[in-house]
Each structure stands twice: as C-alpha cells, then as structure tokens.
Amino acid sequence: MLIPYYICIALLTSCAQAETAIPGTNIHPTDTIASPDSISMGIFRTPGSSYTAARSRVSGIRFLWAEAYRKSTNKDSVLQAAGRALENALVKDIFPYWYGTPWDFEGHTDTPDTGFIACGYFVSTTLKHAGINLNRYKLARKSALTGCRILSITGDIIRLRNKSPQQVADYMRENLNDGLYSVGLDYHVGFVLLRDGYVVFIHSSFLNRSGVMATNAVTDPAFVSTNHILVPISTSAPLVKKWLTGEAIDILPDR
C-alpha cells in the first residue's frame, strides 16, 4: 500500500455570552504560538496559495486513505494512520487560512478571512471543510456537552471539573495520546492539540473579539473554565472511519 503517512496536527456551543475583555489582557491573532515555535511544532500559520487548493488537496488525501481502508485487511492500522493524516490536514491545510478571522457572536462565515466566525462555527466549519460529513449549522448551535457527544460518535467523553488550565494540561500529558481534540468549556469551544508535551488551544477567541488563534492553553484566559470536556478527533477510530467512508455525523438533540 503505497500511501504516504502524513505526520502532523473542541466544541460546540455559542461562544461566550458577552464580548468580554479581561482587564490587563490584550490578545491578538498575531500573538499565537510564541513558544513553542510554530514551525518546529508543525503548526503552520502561513497559508498556501489558496483555500480552494488546500481543500482540494485534503479531499485527495481523504480519497487515498478511503481507498486504503476499503482494500485493507488490517483496518485498525489504516484508521490509526488516517487519523494522523486528518490531523495534519486540519493543522497544515485548513487552520492556517482561518488565523486572524475575527470573532462575532453571530459569525458563521464559510470563507476564512472574510466576515466573522463564532467559536462553534469555527469548529464545525473546519471539520466540514476537512471532509467530515456534518451539518455545520446544526452542530455549531449545540451546547458544548451535546457537541462533544456528537463528535465522540460513541457518546464517550472526558469531563474535567474545577480544574485550572495547568491541571488540564497536566492531565492530558499524563493520560492522553498525542493528537487533536475538541474541547467544550462553560461558554466557549475549540480544539486542543497535544503534541510532544505541549498543549495548544486553537479557537476563535471572544476576548477582545480577537478571532481565530492558536495559543498556549495554560496561559490563555479563554481556556479558564469550570468544565473542560475533551473528545479525541484524530485518534478516534469511529470518527476517522466516518471521515473515510463519508457517512454523516448524527446530530443528537440537546439534553
């Protein structure tokens, strides 16, 4: 099987109920990932030639892995490798175009750097543009808990209560595999990348209406929450399988 292994790089409720600016903070998209270095981390902040070309490239990657999965007698192994390809597609081909797109509570643009994007729509839109078959409008409107349950496919979630950002980061380092996760907070959602001990928060920040950025989760005030609900994206075999087969993600009712 001559398929390249693309080595690489949550969720959904309305963003915070206010356009909060925390005193003493001045967060801008250009502040993203000062340390660790974005290139050594594999987090590419500079987009390529065009978003259309990037999406086409990701579609081609998905097609190759879908064929590999269909033909393979060791499907678990293919799903694991395809998950890394999905992670890489999001962090290298999709996310970079969105960095700097401003936040708005009602923002639901389908085009990066044009209009506004709320935190839930950032998650649902980027996943859809990576090739996951979902209704970005319905998913983005769900509560953080329901959104996490939807993306978990099986309903299994990790819920941490009353933990500081440092404690959440420590938990992830000690208990979870490297990969891309969705995260649901009290009034905010996004992605978390766990890689080589670093915990990176990728989200559309409501603070100062800053918009899409990638930050150190431990020091980002937007990551402060009484609840942190984590769901694997790139290491979830059920989700990766749906990415490959094109099967739609079921949108569950809130409960």
Domains located in the chain, CATH noted: 30-245 (3.90.1720.10)
What's residue 223's pLDDT? 97
pLDDT tens for 47-103 read 778 999 999 999 999 999 999 999 999 999 999 999 999 999 999 999 999 999 999
Query: pLDDT of 224-249, one tens digit each?
Result: 999 999 999 999 999 999 999 999 99
Residues in the chain: 255
Q: What pLDDT digit, counting tens, does each position of 145-154 carry?
A: 999 999 999 9
Share of the chain above pLDDT 90, in %: 76
Q: What is the pTM for the complete model shown?
A: 0.86
The tokens describing 188, both together, are 């905010």
Q: What pLDDT, on the 0 to 100 scale, is given for residue 135?
A: 98
Q: How many alpha carbons fall within 13 Å on the CB side of residue 221?
A: 14
Q: What is the pLDDT of residue 40?
A: 52
Closest by Cα among 181, 170, 194 to 148: 181
Residue from 187, 215, 209 nearest 117 by CA: 209
Q: What are phi and psi of 60, to 5 degrees?
A: -65, -40
Task: Using pLDDT thresholds of 50, 70 and 90, give the confidence band for residue 41.
Answer: low
